[in-house]
Amino acid sequence: MPIYIDADKCVGCKLCLSACPYGAIDMVEGKAVFNDNCTQCGACISSCKFGAIIAEITRKENVDTSQYKGVWVLAETHDGRLADVTLELVSEGRKLADELGVELAMVLAGWQVEPLAQIAAHYGADKVYLVEHETLEHYRTDPFTSVIAALINQYKPEIVLIGATVMGRDLASRIAARIGAGLTADCTGLAIDPETRLLMQTRPAFGGNVMATIVCRHARPQMATVRPRVMKKAEPDLSRTAEIIRSHVDLKEQAIAAKILEIIREEGRDELDVQEAEIIVSGGRGLRKAENFALIRELAEVLGAAVGASRATVDAGWIPAYHQVGQTGKTVQPKLYIACGISGAVQHLAGMGSSDCIVAINNDPDAPIFGVAHYGIVGDLFEVVPALTKALKKELGLE
């Protein structure tokens, strides 16, 4: 068993009991003992002040972590521009790199994407690793994984960040498995531990009911996908430039398993996406029927906001699924979230609970949504929402 408690050293202080995420430590005759719940996650080890909890981490190939230097951000591009989350991560990566006293680089893989390189510089990148090839025009797992894994092996960054998007999650997991890196999903907080120089990666788990901080002690690089709209974009400094390091690759189209046959943009999908929006107005079961989403849309229009929806309304077929906010829908963190007629099931709260400012409008004073709302209005949404739309129109001079 890789973790054990040295009974001679255990003084029975019970500190490890509170550190255990699984309730897997019992006190037996004044000593801590693991029970069957133990997953050997190792959370208890650092809690013991007496060195009584010992992990035998045996690795065949112990990585020489001192060889790995620098912070990288893997770029995501859409229709010829850098995704917002990429710029957020370049901005955040700058801070991490400064704390470590290392360089920040962005990896830009694509086709005819070179003009985007200097934009990364404006947000703080010192270097841009550029890989251009026709086969990289649209994101596909295979070629992107090969290209980026190779760069990592060659230049050995200590930290690699990418957005926790459809692309980022697909790519990062594949790269991490290939090179044996540690990967933490969907982080909402990143920090450097000053003593160990390790990346402390904080993320929600169990549908947002629990936050966990994760480290990767031995494997390199330390990889993380980071939730969009959590990190703040820096003010661009247009005088900054980055060194471009171009890599030549020889990719063969016929060697790539996946062919993209078609890209379909759904009708209505030109609407502002909830994950892109600074303001979201969401409707729930309290709307009673599909037509009443008109009230939500009117308010959203005044605010330049995206329209969100609870799972109940999507399941009822009132609105397409891409509007859904929550654990099975999209996770959002806008500046302002206005929940109208949403009771606030825990899955919904998991998807929007960390929004900067939450306004809840609901006729049930005991609705759980009020538990996370900064401002709550107990009332009939059919009165409150139109009144709010009208008042905002006036305030914003849109009448």
Q: Closest Cα partner for 255 from 365, 133, 373?
A: 133
Residues 212, 189 contacting (CB under 8 angstroms): no
Would you say how long the chain is, in residues? Answer: 399
Task: Work out how close the CB of 309 gets to another protein at its nearest, in angstroms, rounded to a whole number.
Answer: 14
Amino acid (one-letter) located at 345: A
Separation of CA 54 from chain center: 32
Q: Does 267 bind another protein (CB under 8 A)?
A: no
Q: Which is nearer to another protein, 37 or 112 (CB)?
A: 37
Region near another protein per CB under 8 A, out of 152-160, 240-248, 290-298, 378-386: 378-386
Q: Is the peptide bond before 204 cis (omega within 30 degrees of 0)?
A: no
Of the residues 7, 51, 180, 255, which one makes contact with another protein according to CB under 8 A: 180
Q: Where are the beta strands (DSSP E) in 272-319?
A: 279-283, 306-309
119 binds another protein (CB under 8 A): no
By CB under 8 A, the residues from 186 to 215 that bind another protein are: 186, 200, 204-215
CB of 68 to another protein, least distance (A): 13
Query: How many residues sit in the footprint of another protein (CB under 8 A)?
Result: 112
**What six digits make up the tokens of 255?**
């060697």
Contacts (CB under 8 A) with another protein, residues 225-264: 257-264
Segment near another protein (CB under 8 A), from 110-118, 121-129, 165-173, 237-245?
Answer: 165-173
The Cα–Cα gap between 21 and 174 comes to 28
Nearer to another protein, 43 or 109 (CB): 43
- Of the ranges 67-75, 134-142, 152-160, 289-297, which one interacts with another protein (CB under 8 A)? 134-142
Task: Give the count of beta carbons closer than 10 Å to the beta carbon of residue 87.
Answer: 23
How far apart are CB 265 and another protein at their closest, in Å?
5
Neighbour tally for 77: CB within 10 Å: 20
CA 155 to chain centre: 25
Q: Is 49 in the site for another protein (CB under 8 A)?
A: no
Rounded CA gap, 230 and 354, in Å?
Answer: 9
Instruction: For the CB of residue 4, give the shortest distance to another protein in the complex, in Å.
Output: 12
Structure tokens at 308: 């969100």
Classify 19 as helix, strand or coil: helix
Please give the residues from 296 up to 315 whose contact with another protein meets the rule CB under 8 A. 303
* 3 near another protein, judged by CB under 8 A: yes
| Beta carbon of residue 37, minimum distance to another protein (angstroms, whole number) | 8
Q: DSSP 3-state assignment of 109?
A: strand
Among 108, 162, 190, 216, binds another protein (CB under 8 A): 216
Name the strand (E) or helix (H) holding 31: strand 31-34
- Give the single-character DSSP code of 365: T
Rounded CA-CA distance 295/160 in Å is 43
Name which position in 7, 28, 387, 398 contacts another protein (CB under 8 A).
Answer: 387
The residue within the footprint of another protein, chosen from 169, 233, 240, 297 (CB under 8 A), is: 169
Site track 347-366 with another protein (rule: CB under 8 A), x = hit: x-----xx-xxxxx------
Give the Cα separation of 96 and 71 in Å (integer). Answer: 7
Binding residue for another protein, selected from 153, 321, 364, 398, defined by CB under 8 A: 321
Tokens, residue 296: 């939500």
Q: Which amino acid is at 130?
A: L
Build a one-symbol-per-residue string for 56-85: x at contacts with another protein by CB under 8 A, - elsewhere: -xxxx-------------------------
Using rule CB under 8 A, residue 176 touches another protein: yes
Site for another protein in 272-301 (CB under 8 A): 273, 275, 279
